[in-house]
Amino acid sequence: MASLLYLHTTLPNKMTVKPLAVLNKAHKMRVPFELKQGQTRVSHQLPSGLNIEVIEQKSVTSKDPDKKNEKRPPLVFVHGSYHAAWCWAEHWLPFFADSGFDCYAVSLLGQGESDAPPGTVAGSLQTHAGDVADFIQKNLSLPPVLLGHSFGGLIIQYYIARIRNEKMLEMETPYPEIAGAVLVCSVPPSGNSGLVWRYLFTKPIAAFKVTRSLAAKAFQTDLSLCKETFFSSSMEDHLVLRYQELMKESSRMPLFDLRKLNASLPVPSVPKSSIKVLVLGAKDDFIVDAQGLSETGSFYGVLPVCVEGVAHDMMLDCSWEKGASVILSWLDGLRR
């Protein structure tokens, strides 16, 4: 979640599948993420001609005869600021692939191994959500579940609003239907302004630390501050150092222009819909507070789940299995 305390603050009936090309160009990141067994780094070309990185990991065939022919929705993961597809590939892609899901983690433009667009920022809520929609439309045959972290969660909220509101108006929409959404430590629908003011008035020391860490990017050089911002206190330093280097290399340009982003918020309200949403927070989140988590839950009319013993980067933290297990139980419930 970049610069938290910066106050200026018709889908075609027939889906065309465009093959993904395996990336063979030199790494854009000087500290590349080494893929794990079963993972492939591929490139999806957007209508603009720019390419986004996708790390995919296909499902492991279930040994349970009752689940062998079961079609589970693919999972599409969207990262937040200072991250890229690799943050999901470390733990959660292997976990969910082993649980029978095809997994796809995208790197938004200007992040990870994806191309950088012209200009000074990577995009907007609209353009990032549109890029995710383009990937889904051209490559997936089943409606996926979208999972977004931090500002990636806000992008998914915008995606949901576009689907629902355009459908209500009987408009053609380029946003394919989805099977559900999981918002992980997500920026709330109103953006980060409420978080900003609460920190300034109730936790001034924490406000200074978060501003220094994110707005001034001090997390890139200060190991203890990086740990406090993103991870649990019990996280081993050598892991924090590794992720610190990957985060530093992941973002060649800001994910958003925060002034324009805040001016475009809150996310449009969502008419009553059948899209199931899981709002998931972390008890030890140094960035998104309990009130921010509650706001997101209220917006979707669901009770948020707050996971004990994990921090903001739930998918990388030392107890990453806790959040993954909650999501897996929720995904199992989608079939009922």
3-class state of residue 184 by DSSP: strand
Does 6 map to a domain? no
Give the torsion through C-alpha atoms of 266, 268, 273, 277, to 10 deg. -30
Structural domain including 234 reads: 21-26+37-59+69-334
Which stretches in the chain have pLDDT values below 50? 1-19
Does 98 map to a domain? yes
How far apart are the C-alpha atoms of 88 and 147, rounded to whole Å? 10
150: left (phi over 0), alpha (psi -120 to 50) or beta: left
Q: What is the pLDDT of residues 49-59, one digit of tens each?
A: 999 999 999 99
How far apart are the C-alpha atoms of 292 and 287, rounded to whole Å? 10
Q: What local confidence, expressed as pLDDT, does residue 279 receive?
A: 98
Identity (one letter) of the amino acid at 217? K
Q: 22 has which bridge partners?
A: 42
Does 13 map to a domain? no
Parallel, antiparallel or unpaired: strands 277-282 and 180-184: parallel
Does 212 map to a domain? yes
Does 12 map to a domain? no
Q: Any idea what the CATH number is for the domain that residue 265 is in?
A: 3.40.50.1820
Does 306 map to a domain? yes
Q: What local confidence, expressed as pLDDT, does residue 64 receive?
A: 57
Does 5 map to a domain? no
Q: What local confidence, expressed as pLDDT, does residue 63 receive?
A: 52
Q: What local confidence, expressed as pLDDT, does residue 190 receive?
A: 93
Number of domain units in the chain: 1
**Where does 211-257 have alpha helices with state H?**
223-230, 237-250
List all residues 6 or more positions away from 208 whose beta carbon is below 8 Å from its beta carbon.
Answer: none
Q: What local confidence, expressed as pLDDT, does residue 144 receive?
A: 98
Assess contact for 128 and 33: CB atoms under 8 A: no
Q: What is the per-residue burial (b if ≥16 Cβ within 10 Å, else e) of 11-30? A: eeeeeeeeebeebeeeebbe
Structure tokens at 87: 């943050």
Q: What local confidence, expressed as pLDDT, does residue 238 receive?
A: 97
How far apart are the C-alpha atoms of 314 and 305, rounded to whole Å? 13
Q: What local confidence, expressed as pLDDT, does residue 66 receive?
A: 58
SS (H, E, C) 119-169: CCCCCCHHHHHHHHHHHHHHHCCCCCEEEEECHHHHHHHHHHHHHHHHHHC
Q: What local confidence, expressed as pLDDT, does residue 242 receive?
A: 97
Residue (of 182, 214, 196) closest to 300 by Cα position: 182
Q: What local confidence, expressed as pLDDT, does residue 15 receive?
A: 39
Does 4 map to a domain? no
Structure tokens at 171: 């408009």
* Predicted model pTM: 0.89
